[in-house]
Amino acid sequence: MQITITPAASHWFQSELGLKSGDSVRFFGKVYGQTAVHDGFSLGVERAEVQAPITTVTVDGITYFVGETDDWFFAGYDLHVAYNETLDEPAYQFEAQKS
Record the pTM. 0.90
Burial of 74 (0-12, 13-18, 19+ CB in 10 A): buried
3, 33, 46 from 80: Cα distances, Å: 6, 19, 17
Domain ranges of the chain: 3-96
Starting at the edge strand that comes first in sequence, how are the strands of the sheet with 89-96 ordered?
3-5, 77-84, 89-96
Compute the distance between CA of residue 96 and CA of residue 68 in angstroms, rounded to an integer: 19
Percentage of residues of the chain with pLDDT beyond 70: 88
Architecture in CATH of 3-96: Sandwich (2.60)
pLDDT tens digits, 50-80:
999 999 999 999 999 999 999 988 999 999 9
